[in-house]
């Protein structure tokens, strides 16, 4: 009997503890992420905690109220551009107006998605919407012969 261990068993196993991995979790149990008690990281998750993304950068949750005024101003300006899109029927055919409304709806969806995540991008959307509207009507008049 080598090392004073009876029957080749580990002393921890004799007490019912089982083997422990590097993170302190029993080897038979999944030890992914952080150990709940000690906060240690294990090899199964590549040495990162459970709440960290694979890229290694931690994403902070948006703070309520931080930048929402900027985003609200962007939404108000985006709504101010909507009448220009709706009244484009005097200058463009119906299919072009429908396409412009789809573009506006996509921009409004982006504004809703970015409202808390990227509020400063929401402020840029009305200017992009106005630029798209102007470009479509200008190209339509010059190239496609729409009425002026």
Q: Bigger pLDDT: 17 or 146?
A: 146
pTM score of the predicted model: 0.56
DSSP string covering 65-98, please? Answer: TSSHHHHHHHHHHHHHHHHHHHGGGGTS-HHHHH
Q: Bigger pLDDT: 55 or 31?
A: 55
C-alpha 89/C-alpha 114 separation (Å) is 30
Tens digit of each residue's pLDDT (9 = 90 or more) over 4-49: 555 555 555 555 555 555 555 555 555 444 555 555 555 555 555 5
Tens digit of each residue's pLDDT (9 = 90 or more) over 91-142: 899 999 999 999 999 999 999 999 888 889 999 999 999 999 999 999 999 9
């Amino acid at each position: 009997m080598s090392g004073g261990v009876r029957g080749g068993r580990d002393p921890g196993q004799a007490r019912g503890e089982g083997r422990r991995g590097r993170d302190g979790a029993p080897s038979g149990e999944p030890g992914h992420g952080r150990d709940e008690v000690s906060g240690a990281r294990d090899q199964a998750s590549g040495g990162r905690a459970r709440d960290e993304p694979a890229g290694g950068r931690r994403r902070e949750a948006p703070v309520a109220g931080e930048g929402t005024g900027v985003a609200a101003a962007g939404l108000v300006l985006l709504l101010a551009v909507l009448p220009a899109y709706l009244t484009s029927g005097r200058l463009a055919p119906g299919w072009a107006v429908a396409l412009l409304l789809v573009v506006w709806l996509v921009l409004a969806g982006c504004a809703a998605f970015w409202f808390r995540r990227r509020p400063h991008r929401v402020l840029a959307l009305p200017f992009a919407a106005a630029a798209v509207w102007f470009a479509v009507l200008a190209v339509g008049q010059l190239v496609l012969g729409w009425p002026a």
